[in-house]
Structure 1
Amino acid sequence: MPCQPALAQTDRNPVGQPTSVAALPPEDLRQLLDLLQRPDIQTWLQSQTGNRPVEEQSSAEAANAREIIVGRLNAVRSFVHDMATAIPTLPAELHRARVALMTEMRGQGSFAAILPLVFFATLGFGLEWLYWHATSGFRDRMIVTHLDTVDDRLRAAGLRILYGLGVLLAFAVGSVGAFLLFDWPPLLQHSVLAYLLVFLAVRLTLVVGRIVLAPGAERFRLMPVATVTARFWFFWSAVLVGLFAFGHFTYQLLPMLGVGHEATYIVALASGLILFGLALVALWRCPTFDGVDMVSRRHRVSTVLGTLYIIANWLVALSGVAATFYIGVVLLVLPIAISCVRLSIDHIMRPPGTIAANEGVPSLAGAALERGLRSLLLIGGAYLIASLLGLDFGTLAARDTMATHLIRGLLNAFVVILLADFTWRMTSTWIDRKLMQTAVGDAVDPDELRRSARLRTLLPVLRNVLFVVLLAMAILMALSSLGVEIGPLIAGAGVVGLAVGFGAQTLVKDIISGMFFLLDDAFRVGEYIESGSIKGTVESFSLRSIKIRHHRGALHTIPFGSLDKITNYSRDWAIDKIMVSVTYNTDLDVVKNTVKQVGKQLLTDEEIAPSIMETLKMQGVEQFGDFAIQIRMKIMTKPGEQAVIRRRAYALIKKAFDAKGIKFAVPTVSVAGGGDASSAVAQKGLDLIKPPPQTEQAALDA
C-alpha cells in the first residue's frame, strides 16, 4: 500500500521555473551568495519588500497561491506519467527481487534456509496447539456458564478476551523464539518478519471477531446481530484486514529486495485496487443486522455513499498523496469501530430479563465503559493521523511557532471536549437511573415516597443546569487552549447578561421564583395543588413554568412568577369528616359501637387498609337539628385516598345501621291546606334537605 515516501515523489519536479538552480554556473552562485550576505543588501531587500504597495502584495500572494495549485496539479500529472512509464519494467523489477532472495537462500544452503522456516512454523503452531489442549477444561466451563445477569456477561466477555489473546500470544511467543534460536539471512529475516506480521494481523482480527461477533455461539455474541450477519463480517473483516496488511508490508519489503520506488508503488496500487474491489463486494452484499438483505432505501443510500467514499479515497492514492489515503482509511474505520463498541456495550450491559438494550435502568458501568473505549479510539485515531502527517509531539512541545501553538491548542481542546463529554455522560446516566428507580419503585414507606417525589422534581432541573454549565466551561476552556483570551469574553458575557436581565425582567422573575419554590419544596411532580383559581396535579415543570393538570382534564401552563400562594393537598395526611343524621329516639351508645365496628371492617379491607392512617371514629353529637340528631365522624387517610375510603365507609354505615335498627332522619312535610303558611312550611322542608354547596375538598374528591 502507499505510504509516506510517495509524498516526496510528487515534489521532485518543481513547476514554474524554466531553469533549475543547479544549471547556473558555480561562479555566479558564489557571487550571488556573497551579495546576499552583505548587511546593506539585506536591508535594501527588506525595505523593498516592506514598501511594496498593498495591491502588489495581494496580487503577489494570489499569484503564489495559483502557482502552488498549478504546481501540485503538475506534480500529480508527472507522478501518474512516471507510474505509467514504470509499468513495463515491473516484471523485471519483481524478477530481480526474487533472484536476490533466492541467491541469499542458496548462499546459506537449501537445508539451512528451509530449517528455520520449518522450525518457525512448528514452534509457533506447536505452542498454540499446546495452549489449546491445556485450556480444554476452561472452554468446557465457558460453554455451560450462565449469562443471565450483567456481571455474568461481563465476566464471560473478559475471560473470552483473555483466552483469545492467549491463543495469539502462544503463536507469537513461538515465532519470536524461532527468530532468537536461528541466525537468519537478512533478506529472508525481513521477508519472514513482514508476513508474520500479516499473519498476526489476520489472527488478531479473527480473535476480535470471535469475541464480538461469535459466529458459532450466539449466546456469547456481544453485538446484537443475526447469525448470518455475524458470519458474513467475521469472514470479510479477516479478508480485508489481511489484504490491507499484505499490501502494506509488501510495500515496505520490496525496496529492501532492490525493487525501485515506481515499481513498488505500482504493486501497492494493484494491491489497493484489489482491496478496493473486495471492499465494494462486501459493502454491496452485506446483510442488515437482523440478517435481511439490504433492500431498504436507507441502506441503499448509505451503501452508495460508502462506495463513493471508497472510490474517492483510492483515487487519492492513485494521485500519489499517500498520507491522505491512510487518513481516509482511518476516518472510515474509526466511526465503524465506535458504533460497534456502543452496540456491544449496550447489549452486554442490558438489565436481566430484557432483550433490547434500551430497556431497564441505565448502567453507570456501561456508560463509563462505552465512553472510555470511545475516548481511547478517538485519541488513538488522532495520534495515528498525527503520525501520518509527520507530526512529532515532542517537537510540538519544544517549538513555539504559530503552527505548533495552534496544533497544541487543538489537541488540548480535543481533550477538554472528551472530558466534558465523559462527565456529562456519567452524570446524565446517574440522573436517568435515579429517575427510573423512583418511577418504577414499589416503596410504601411515606418518607421514601416523599423522597422519590422530590427527586423526580429536582433531578430534571439539575440535569438542565448541569448541561448548561458543562457546555459553557468546555467552550471557554477550549477557546483558552486555542489561545483566545477568555477574560474579555467573560466580561462581555456579564455585560450582555446584565442587559438581557433588564430587558427580560419577567423571564428572570419566573426563573428566580421557580428556584425558590423548589428550594422551599412547595410542590412535587404528581401532587395536587391549588394556586389562586387554578388547581390540579403537577405534571412537569421547566426553569420558567409549571404544568398543572386539572382533575377534569384541562392542562394549565403557569409561569412561576404568576403563582400566588400555593395550597398543597398531597402532603403527609388528610382528614375526612362524615356527617349522618339519626332520629331523636336513637340510642347514641349503640351508634358509637356500630361506628367502631365499621372502622374495624375498613381495616380488614385489603384494598383500602394500607391507605388508612386512623380508622373511622365517632366524635359525638355535632348539633340537634329541627328533625334529627347530627352525628360527626372522622377518618385520617393518606392524601388523595379519602374519597375512595369515604365511599366505602358510607356503604358499610348503611348496612350496619340497618342491621342495628338505627334509622336515618329525613324531613317530612305535611300540607294541611292552601295558603302562604303551607307554602312557607314546604319551602322550609325543602331548605332542610337541600345539599350544602360544594367545597374545595369535594371538588378534589370528584
Structure 2
Amino acid sequence: MNLTRQTLARVLLLLLTAVLILPMPALADSPSGDSRLADILEDDQARAALIAELRRSAAEADAVQPEETEPAVSLPGRVAQLTQSLAEGTVEEVEAALQSGREAWQQLMTADLMDLTLQVGLLAGLIAATLVTLWLLSWLARFAYRGLNGYAFSRTGTVGIIRRGVAIISSLIIDVATVLLAWLTGYAIALFVLGTSGEMTAQETLFLNAFLIVELLRAAIRLVFSKRWPGLRPVPLTDEEAAYWTAWTTRMAAFLGYGLLFVVPVVNQTVTPELGRAVALIIIFMAFLKGVALVMQNRKRVKDRLITLAERMETGFAQISLNLVAKTWHVIALVYLAAILGTAVLFPEQALPFMLAATFQTLIAVAAGIGLSAFLTRVILRRIQLPEDTRTKFPQLEERLNAYIPMSLKITRFTILAIVAGVILDAWTPFSLAGWVASDSGTLIIGKIVAVALIIAFAMLLWLVIASWIEFKLNPAAGDGEPNPRTRTLLTIFRNAIAIALIVMTVMVVLAEIGINIGPLIAGAGVLGLAIGFGAQKLVQDVITGVFIQLENAVNVGDVVTAGGMTGTVERLTIRSMGLRDLSGTYHLMPFSSVDAVSNYMRDFGYHVGEYGVAYREDTDQVIARLRDAFAELRSMPEVAPNVLGDLEVHGVTALADSSVNVRVRIKTAPGMQWAVGREYNRLVKRHFDAAGIEIPFPHMTLYFGEDKAGQAPPARILLEEDGTDHEDATAPPRISRFRSRSNPKFKGDFDEGEE
C-alpha cells in the first residue's frame, strides 16, 4: 500500500475542498453574485466555458502545486504537519468513539436480550470447541516433537546439521497441520452443529478466519523459539530465554490478531464503524505501551546476547553487523512500534494490512539473507583441496584459488545485502523493487553490474590460467626438469608484463561498460606517455635496451658476467636494470643504458688458461710432461672430472721472459666451472713440479760490491750485532746475527747495510 501517494491525495483533496468551499460565503452574500452565477448556469456556452476553465485550473494545480508547495516545506514544517495530523486524527477518533459509544448503549438498551444471549452463546461455543480441539491436537503432537528432537541430536557434523534442518521443517509441518485440522473442525461445527445446518454467521466466519491467521503466525513463532525442544530451535537461545520470548510474542500476536481481525470487525458490523476504529486504536495503543515496556526491559539482555553471538562469528562482516544491531536494536524496535501507532491513527483502514505485509516481507527478507549468507559462508570458507599430482605440478595453484575466497565472499555478501535492502525498501516505502527491475533504468543498471562482474571474473580466470601455466613451466617437478636461466628470466618478465596489460585492459573495458568515455582517457594517456618519454629518455633507453638484451639471450639470472666495468654474478634481472654481486659481496645495480657490452662467462663452456713460468735451466719437454701428469691426476678426481670437457691443450712455450720460460696450457670446462677447475689444476701443478725438482722462479736479489782496476774485490763490511740475549760470561765474544739490509730510499735498487 503506497502510503505516500495516499497522503498526497488527502492533502490535494483538502486543498481542493478549501478552494471550492471558502469562496462560497462571499458569493452567497452578494446578490449580484447569485444573479451572475444563475446567468452562467442558464447559458450553455458560458456553462461549457466555465467547466473547461475549472478543468484547466485543476490540471494546472495537479501539475504545478506539488512542485511549488512540496519543496517549500522544510523538515521541521513536515514534522509539525505530521504531529498536527496525528493530534487532529486522535481528537476526531475520540469524538467519534464517544458518539458511537452512546449510540451503542442506546441500541443495547432496545435490543432483544434473549436473542443477543443466544448469539453470544453460540459464538462462545464455537470459540471453545475450536480452541479445545487445537489444544488436544497440540498435546498429541508432543510425541512427534519428542521424536524429532531426538532425531536432531542423533548425529553431529554435516549430517547432524542436515538432520536438524529436516527435523525443524517437519515440526513446522506438524504444527501447521494441527492448526488446519482445528480450523476445519471449527468450520464443521459452525456449519453442521451450531445454528442452522449448512449456514454460518458473519461473526463465526470472522472468528475462523482470525483463528487461522493468528494460529499460523503463532506456529511460526513457535518454530523460531521452540521453548521445549532445543533440537528444533534454529536460534541459539537457552530454554529459559526461549520460554520467555515464546510467551510474550505469542500473547502479543493473539492479542493483536484476535482483537483486530475478530473483535474490531464484529464491532463494525454489530454497532458502528466509528466504535470499531476506536476499539482498534485502543488495542493498538495498549500493544504499543506493552511493546515499549518489553523493549526497554530487555534492552541490555538482548544487547549482551547479540554481542556474545558476534564474538563467536567467524567472519568480520558478521561480527560488525551483529555489534551494530546490538547497539541499535531497541531504537529500531521503538521506531517500528511508533510507525504502527502512527499509521493506525492516520490510516485506520489500511494500517493493519500494510504493517502486517511490510513486517512479514521484512522478516522473510532478513531471515533469507542471514540464512543464505551463513550457508555460503560455510561453503565458501572451506579450503579448496587439489589432488596431490596437481599440487606437485602447480604448487601455488591451491593457495591462489583459496586467496580468491575472501573477495568472493565479500562480493556475495554485498549482493545479498543490496537485495535485502531493496526488499525492505519495497515493503516500507513507495519504492517498488519488481517495478524497478522491470523498468528501463533497472534493467540497464542490473545488466551493467552483471557485465562488469563477468568481465572481472573472466580477467581473473585468464590470469589464473596464465599464472598457472608459467608456474608449471618454472616447476622442476613438472616433468621437463629444471628450466634454464633464460627461460626462467623470460617467463618472469612475461608474467609481470601480462599482469600489467591485463589490469589496464580490464579497467578500460569496465570503464567503457559503465558508460565512461575512455577515448579522452586513451588520448590523455598517449599525450602523458609522450611527455614522460621525452622527460625520461634514460628510462626509455633502459627499457628498450633491456628488451633486446633479453631477446638476444645475452644475460640470465645466475650468470657470471662483466658489464659496465663490473664483474659478478647476476642476481636480479628486470626489464630496466640488472643486479650484480661481485666477489667481495658488493651488490651493484646497473641500468641497461649504462651497459655498452656484456661479457658472459657462462655460455656453453669455459676455458682455464694457465701460463706457468719455469727457470731457464729447466727442460721444457720435462715441464710439459709434468703438466700432462697433473692433468691426468685431475681427470681421475671424481668431484672434478665431470666438469672437464676435453683433453689438455698444450700451446707450448709462449714467452722467454726476463726471469722465466713461460709454457701455456688450456683446459675446456663446463660453463662457470673454469675457475674451480683452474684452482685445482694449479694445486696439482705445484705438487708435480716440486716432486720433479722443477724450479718455479721468483724474484732473486744479488749483492755486488764491485772490484778495483786490478780485479780485486774490496772487502765487504759486515756488521756484527748481539741477539739481545743476556750471557753469564761477559768476556765471551758477541754472537753474529744474520745480515740485514735495508733499501736506500735515495737510490732505487740500492741497499744499505743493516742498522742497529
Equivalent residue in structure 2 for 1:577, among 601, 609, 614 = 609
Q: Residue type of the partner of 1:183?
A: L
Once residues 295 and 83 of structure 2 are traced to their aligned partners in structure 1, the CA distance between those partners, rounded to angstroms, is 20
Q: Residue type of the partner of 1:118?
A: W
Unaligned runs of 5+ in 2: 25-40, 42-47, 94-122, 184-211, 261-282, 340-354, 389-394, 707-756
Once residues 685 and 164 of structure 2 are traced to their aligned partners in structure 1, the CA distance between those partners, rounded to angstroms, is 80
Equivalent residue in structure 2 for 1:634, among 652, 661, 667 = 667
Classify 1:366/1:269 alpha carbon distance in 2 versus 1 (closer, same or farther; 3 Å). Answer: farther
Matched-pair contact (CA < 8 Å) for 1:620–1:631: yes
Classify 1:304/1:365 alpha carbon distance in 2 versus 1 (closer, same or farther; 3 Å). Answer: closer
Q: Larger radius of gyration, structure 1 or 2?
A: 2
Q: Deviations over 1:549-597 (max 9, x none)?
A: 4425666666666664555555555444344445535264453243132
TM-score by length of 2: 0.55
Equivalent residue in structure 1 for 2:520, among 486, 489, 492 = 492
Matched-pair contact (CA < 8 Å) for 2:559–2:601: yes
Helix, strand or coil: the match of 1:604?
coil
Q: Aligned pair 1:106/2:146, yes or no? A: no
Give 1:82 deviation, angstroms: 11
Equivalent residue in structure 1 for 2:162, among 161, 165, 170 = 165
Unaligned runs of 5+ in 1: 51-56, 87-100, 140-159, 208-233, 292-298, 353-358, 481-485, 676-702
Q: Deviations over 1:359-414 (max 9, x none)?
A: 987524424554444443332222111111115554234434xxxx1x44443444
Give 1:415 deviation, angstroms: 3.4
Once residues 136 and 623 of structure 2 are traced to their aligned partners in structure 1, the CA distance between those partners, rounded to angstroms, is 118
Equivalent residue in structure 1 for 2:651, among 621, 625, 650 = 621
Classify 1:252/1:203 alpha carbon distance in 2 versus 1 (closer, same or farther; 3 Å). Answer: same
Q: Residue type of the partner of 1:499?
A: V
Equivalent residue in structure 2 for 1:596, among 610, 632, 653 = 632
Helix, strand or coil: the match of 1:411?
helix
Q: Deviations over 1:495-528 (max 9, x none)?
A: 3233223322245835566555555555455555
Q: Residue type of the partner of 2:170?
A: V
Once residues 580 and 247 of structure 2 are traced to their aligned partners in structure 1, the CA distance between those partners, rounded to angstroms, is 68
- The residue aligned with 1:89 is none
Q: Residue type of the partner of 1:381?
A: L
Classify 1:27/1:72 alpha carbon distance in 2 versus 1 (closer, same or farther; 3 Å). Answer: closer
Once residues 379 and 240 of structure 1 are traced to their aligned partners in structure 2, the CA distance between those partners, rounded to angstroms, is 33
Q: Residue type of the partner of 1:107?
A: A
Give 1:618 deviation, angstroms: 1.6
- The residue aligned with 1:176 is 173
Matched-pair contact (CA < 8 Å) for 2:561–2:570: yes
Q: Deviations over 1:118-140 (max 9, x none)?
A: 3444334424535765x6xxx6x
Once residues 383 and 581 of structure 2 are traced to their aligned partners in structure 1, the CA distance between those partners, rounded to angstroms, is 41
Once residues 561 and 243 of structure 2 are traced to their aligned partners in structure 1, the CA distance between those partners, rounded to angstroms, is 68
- The residue aligned with 1:466 is 502
Aligned pairs (5 A) from 1:351-366? 363-366=399-402
- The residue aligned with 2:533 is 505
Once residues 244 and 13 of structure 1 are traced to their aligned partners in structure 2, the CA distance between those partners, rounded to angstroms, is 39
Classify 1:288/1:631 alpha carbon distance in 2 versus 1 (closer, same or farther; 3 Å). Answer: farther
Once residues 413 and 253 of structure 1 are traced to their aligned partners in structure 2, the CA distance between those partners, rounded to angstroms, is 48
Q: Residue type of the partner of 2:651?
A: V
- The residue aligned with 1:122 is 143
- The residue aligned with 1:548 is 579
- The residue aligned with 1:381 is 417
Once residues 237 and 416 of structure 2 are traced to their aligned partners in structure 1, the CA distance between those partners, rounded to angstroms, is 24
Q: Residue type of the partner of 1:457?
A: I
- The residue aligned with 2:436 is 396
Give 1:469 deviation, angstroms: 2.1
Q: Which has the higher contact order (CA 8 A, sep 6+)?
A: 1
Classify 1:666/1:257 alpha carbon distance in 2 versus 1 (closer, same or farther; 3 Å). Answer: farther
Q: Deviations over 1:24-83 (max 9, x none)?
A: 779999x9xx99984996499779999xxxxxx9xx979743526335534776799899
Q: Aligned pair 1:73/2:79, yes or no? A: yes
Matched-pair contact (CA < 8 Å) for 1:326–1:388: yes
Give 1:164 deviation, angstroms: 1.2
Q: Deviations over 1:193-224 (max 9, x none)?
A: 312441489989988xxxxxxxxxxxxxxxxx
Q: Residue type of the partner of 1:595?
A: F
Matched-pair contact (CA < 8 Å) for 2:153–2:164: yes
- The residue aligned with 2:216 is 190
Once residues 314 and 35 of structure 1 are traced to their aligned partners in structure 2, the CA distance between those partners, rounded to angstroms, is 60
Classify 1:462/1:557 alpha carbon distance in 2 versus 1 (closer, same or farther; 3 Å). Answer: farther
Helix, strand or coil: the match of 1:65?
coil
Give 1:604 deviation, angstroms: 3.2
Give 1:470 deviation, angstroms: 1.8
Matched-pair contact (CA < 8 Å) for 1:598–1:656: no
Equivalent residue in structure 2 for 1:315, among 331, 335, 357 = 331
Matched-pair contact (CA < 8 Å) for 1:10–1:79: no
Once residues 183 and 48 of structure 1 are traced to their aligned partners in structure 2, the CA distance between those partners, rounded to angstroms, is 53
- The residue aligned with 1:92 is none
Aligned pairs (5 A) from 1:325-336? none
Aligned pairs (5 A) from 1:399-548? 399-400=439-440, 405=441, 407-423=442-458, 445-447=481-483, 450-477=486-513, 479-480=514-515, 486=516, 489-506=517-534, 507=536, 509=540, 523-524=555-556, 527=559, 531-533=563-565, 545-546=576-577, 548=579
> Alignment identity in percent?
14
Q: Deviations over 1:150-196 (max 9, x none)?
A: xxxxxxxxxx4354123311342354256457614315641443124
Once residues 289 and 605 of structure 2 are traced to their aligned partners in structure 1, the CA distance between those partners, rounded to angstroms, is 85
Give 1:471 deviation, angstroms: 2.2
Once residues 648 and 238 of structure 1 are traced to their aligned partners in structure 2, the CA distance between those partners, rounded to angstroms, is 85
Q: Residue type of the partner of 1:591?
A: L
Q: Residue type of the partner of 1:67?
A: V
- The residue aligned with 1:258 is 259
Matched-pair contact (CA < 8 Å) for 1:11–1:75: no
Once residues 339 and 267 of structure 1 are traced to their aligned partners in structure 2, the CA distance between those partners, rounded to angstroms, is 36
Give 1:266 deviation, angstroms: 5.9
Aligned pairs (5 A) from 1:151-300? 160-177=157-174, 179-180=176-177, 183-185=181-183, 186-187=212-213, 189-199=215-225, 255-259=256-260, 277-278=300-301, 280-282=303-305
Give 1:285 deviation, angstroms: 6.4
Once residues 449 and 171 of structure 2 are traced to their aligned partners in structure 1, the CA distance between those partners, rounded to angstroms, is 41
Give 1:637 deviation, angstroms: 2.8
Classify 1:436/1:40 alpha carbon distance in 2 versus 1 (closer, same or farther; 3 Å). Answer: same
Classify 1:667/1:529 alpha carbon distance in 2 versus 1 (closer, same or farther; 3 Å). Answer: closer
- The residue aligned with 2:696 is 665
Classify 1:512/1:429 alpha carbon distance in 2 versus 1 (closer, same or farther; 3 Å). Answer: same
Matched-pair contact (CA < 8 Å) for 1:513–1:561: yes
Q: Residue type of the partner of 1:172?
A: I
Once residues 431 and 247 of structure 1 are traced to their aligned partners in structure 2, the CA distance between those partners, rounded to angstroms, is 61
Q: Residue type of the partner of 2:450?
A: V
Matched-pair contact (CA < 8 Å) for 2:214–2:258: no
TM-score by length of 1: 0.59
Once residues 424 and 606 of structure 2 are traced to their aligned partners in structure 1, the CA distance between those partners, rounded to angstroms, is 73
Equivalent residue in structure 1 for 2:381, among 333, 339, 345 = 345
Once residues 237 and 413 of structure 1 are traced to their aligned partners in structure 2, the CA distance between those partners, rounded to angstroms, is 47
**CA RMSD of superposed structures (Å):** 6.2
